Structures are given as C-alpha cells and as structure tokens.
Chains A and B, each alone.
Chain A
Amino acid sequence: MIQIQNLTTGYPGKVVVQDVSVDFLPGQVLVLLGPNGSGKSTLLKAALGLLPAEQGTVLYDGVDIRQMKRKHVAQKAAFLTQSRNTPSILSLRMVLHGRFPYLSYPRQYSKADYAIARKAMDVTGCRQHENTNINQLSGGQRQGVYLAMALAQDTETVFMDEPTTYLDIRRQLQIMETARTLADEGKAVVLVLHDISMALRGADRIGVFQDGRLLMCDTPEKVYESGVLDGVFDVHVHCAETPHGKQYYCVEREE
C-alpha cells in the first residue's frame, strides 16, 4: 500500500501541494476532485516519485520511496499520464512497454510478457486493435491502449490522471467500469477527474483539493453531505434517488 504522509511538494519556487496525508487503500477507487491547479496531478507525480518531496514522505509498503529504485517503484505503481506521446508503433508493442520494469538489460520481451500484455488489452477492450498502429486509432481506442500498458505493469496501485478527458460518454463510463474491475481485483485505483457526478457515483472515496490542500477524504455520501464540494467549485451539488441508485448533479449557485 502507498501512503502519503504530511507531503509538501511542488516546482522550484512554487509550492503546489501542502501538508497532504492520504492512504491509497487496496480494493478501493479513490477519486481526487478539485479545481484546475489545486494540486491533484502534482500529488500523483509525487506519489510516483516523479517529483521529490520537499517535506513529508511517500511510503511504499512502509518503505520510503527515496530508498527505492525507480524500477521497483514501477513494479508497484503504474501511471496513466495526462499528456502522452503517440509514436508510430503497433498497439501491442505499446502495451508491451508496460513490461519494461521487469525487463533486465538488454533482454527482449518474453512469451509471458506477451501473454500479460494481451490480457491487459482484453481488460480494456482493445485486443482487436493489437496489430493496428496507434496513430490510426481514435482517441478513445488509444486511451484503451494506454490504460492496457499501465495494467501490463501489473502493479498494486494504478494512478490515472484525467483518464476521461476528451472521451465520449460511453468511453468515459468504460474507464470508470475498468477502474471498478481493478479495485474488485484488489488494486488501489486513484483517479483525477473533473466530472463531479461521475466521481460521486463511481468512487469508494473522494479526496477534495483546494489550493494545494486536501480538505476532505471520505465516502461520496459524507463528502456530499458535508457540502464541501459546493464551496470548492462554487456550485450547488444535488442528489436524486433514481431507479439507477443515487445520482448527483450540479446547478449554478444563486446568490
């Protein structure tokens, strides 16, 4: 399990995340919400060791990330980044790169690596594109390939930074469904989202960020009841009982 303890971090001359503590629990989908620039993505980067901590610690199963080799971090946590390069290669090849942390120099990917990559492509529903160049895929299909690459890393924790942005609604729901599947398999799944309704509906826990601080981290019900989202996003969040369970929607705030 990955634990963040009193973490302060950011970029030279600019603190972005301030004194944040949170545990990424196995078997749960944790969604981080907050306005742009509130520190969600930065927290993910620090959790993965892409940004050094200024204060506080990041623990992987109790071990400080600073004492770990990058390769070992990559065997425990995968990251679906927000902006990505799309080199002109076949999808399967792309997903295979998820096995890189397990590759010892200069060996080639093994049969087992291929099997894991194909299985990951089954999970995200992009197996039929395995011999297609990723440049030829639609945005949604490509996202499936990237997610498969992260899954091929076979880690206990999966971080996704705005995985649903630019996708059509069906694809967005598929991503949420995949997140749920992974959590049911016992993984800790951490997503940064902008869609409040989707987050409240699909998460086990919600972390609410404002100005680099984690204001609250609790179940969707408690977060909704606390009204903290209304303040952070300057909207009214409402809940409605529907035949499909509780649904949440936002309306503009009346002054």
Chain B
Amino acid sequence: MNNLRISSIRKHKSLFWIGLCLLTLLTAILSIWTGSVNVSAQQVFAALIGQDTTSTAARIVLFTRLPRTCAAMLAGAALAVSGAVIQTVLNNPLASPGVIGVNSSAGLGVALVCAAAPTAQRFTPLVAFLGALAGVLLILGLSQGTGASRMTVVLAGVAISNLFSAGIDGVITLVPDALNGITDFRIGGFTGVTMRQLAPAAWMILGSLAIVLTLSQQLDILALGSDTAQSLGMSVKPVRFLLLVLAAALAGAAVSFAGLLSFVGLIVPHAVRRILGEDNLPVLAASILGGGIFVTLCDLLARVLFAPFELPVGIVLAFTGAPFFLWLLLRQKGGRG
C-alpha cells in the first residue's frame, strides 16, 4: 500500500510538486483575501501591487493579513523542517521541537528578554535561538551521554518541556506585561504580528532553510545509523551538531514571533515521509511547503471559525494536529511500527 503510493508518486513526481506549489500559493491568496472584514479581490490586488496603500481595505491587507500570512507560512515551514531534522538526527520519529522542549526553551528565552529588556525586541529571535540551542543540546547530551532509549529521550523531553513552560509561566506571573507584544504566547498565535517584527526572524528562517537544504545528503547518511555513517566517511559528531544548531535556529526564530506552536514539527514531517519516503531532499522541500500550508490553513480557520472573534492558531493546530497524529500512529500499527 505504502509502496504503491510511493511508486505512483514517483511516476507523477512533477505533477506532485506543481500541485504542492499551487496549493501553497492558493493558501496564501486565500489567507490574504479572507477575514472578518470583506475585502474584494480587486482591492487585495490593488494593495499588493502598491496601487492603493491608503484605503481601509488596503491597510487591512498590507498591515494585518499580509504579515500574518507571511508569519504563518514562515513559522510552519521552519517548525516542520526543524522537526524533520531533529527526527533524523536523533533517530527518533517521536521527536519534534515541541515534544523535546526546544520550543519551550526558546520561549523561556523570549519571555526572559522581554521581561528584562522590553526595548530589545530586535534581539528576540537571537535569544530564542540561544534558548532553543540550549534545549537541543540538553537532549543531545541526554540521548548520547547516557545511551538512553528513544522513549526515555522523549519522556525526558516532556519533562524538560514542562520545566521550561513553568519558567515561562513564572516570568508571565511576575512580569505580567512582559509578553504583551505577543498575545497568545503560550498556545501560539499570529495576532498583531508586523512586518518589522517579523523581518529578523524571517531572515534567520530563510537562511537556515537554505543551509539545511544543502545538507540533505548528510541527513540521508546520518539516517543509516551512526556506525554506518562513520564508516561511509562522515564525521558524525560535527555534522550532527551543525544540523541541530540549524534546527534550533529554525524553531527559535518561529517561536520568537509565533509563540509555542504545537504539533507542526511532529506531524508535517511524518505526513510527508508517509507520502514521499525518506529521501531527505524531497522530504525537506515538501516539509517547507506542507508546513506553511498547514499552519496558514489552521490560522485561516482560527480567524473565520468564530468571526468576528479570533482563536489563537495554536488551539486550531492542537485540535487538528492531535487527532491527525493519533491517526498516523494507529495506522502505523502492523506496519513498520
């Protein structure tokens, strides 16, 4: 069944990629077009090409929906690729930046810097990255230093994740205004995100994605296991470290403007691998697009479901992501488990 699907996709490879790109574009357009205020297609077009920047409709498109769509696309792509990389590097299909506590350690960094230096917002992506890096290295140390099993690593990640989340709660309790710039930080959301706020994180994400894509071959070799990778001439430790740094940069940058989005890093790579197999270049490319589509669609749902009220996207992600993940897990039973 799996094999059939893989071979049929191999046959229609170019169709698959064209479809995915079109779907991404369509999602982006839909996300910019739709919202609690009705804006016509002409108005959207006029605003996007710069013909009209002053009308209310144009301002909604340019200063609310466009940044929000960009944020959703970027966060989705970053978290999905971060998850794909972490899963391969730790050789653990249950790992993701959310599960092993990388998101929450990045979040703690963001909360701390917002509380201590509210004016230093430019640096939040960097601090989030450092926080994420600390989380990732902690897990790497745990999984390699002790030779712990995959399940132990995941459980340790859950513990670490809870610890950092408690830290975030502590900061929010003590300095209630700390995260006012980012509403819905704990569950994750894009309300009020601006292009200016997004820019540094966006560069970090795009740069990291570009580097990760050039390392797909290294990921392929790493996936064969550490001994085989070394006997094929790879210096496993530095490569693994570099990849985790990139995964941390991706997750950290996403957390810096979107908060703690759950499930994206876990289910998007899973879904992509089920369809495409485990060659990393196509998996990474499809994770970029698929992650963007998934988060943007969820955000769209979050905006229109109870319009004019908005849900944080994190809630929709959890409500769609959790059942989907359970379905994936249960389907796997009897497969390659």
Contact = CB atoms under 8 A, between A and B. Distances in A.
B225 A83 contact: yes
Interface in B213-258: 214-215, 217, 220-221, 223-225, 227-228, 230-235
A79 B231 contact: yes
Interface stretch (B47-55, B106-114, B166-174, B271-279): B271-279
A74 B232 contact: yes
A76 to B, nearest CB: 10
Nearest to A103: B217
A79 B228 contact: yes
A101 B273 contact: no
A88 B228 contact: no
A124 B278 CA distance: 24
B152 interface: no
Contacts of B234: 70, 100
A167 interface: no
Interface residues of B, number: 26
B217 A85 contact: no
Interface in A62-78: 69-75, 77-78
Contacts of B149: none
Given A100-B217, A100-B221, A106-B217, A88 B278 contact: yes
Contacts of B2: 88, 133, 135
Given A88-B273, A88-B277, A106-B217, A98 B225 contact: no
A131 B4 CA distance: 12
A132 interface: yes
A50 interface: yes
A136 interface: yes
Contacts of A108: 217
B283 to A, nearest CB: 10
The listed residue with most A CB atoms (<10 A of its CB), out of B2, B6, B220, B231, is: B231
Contacts of A50: 227, 230-231
B3 interface: yes
Contacts of A73: 233
B336 interface: yes
Contacts of B231: 48, 50, 74, 77-79, 81
Interface in B1-57: 2-3, 6-7
A89 B221 contact: no
Give 4 nearest A-B pairs by CB, closest first: A74-B233, A79-B231, A101-B233, A71-B233
9 contacts: A45-B227, A75-B233, A83-B225, A84-B225, A85-B228, A87-B278, A88-B278, A97-B224, A100-B233
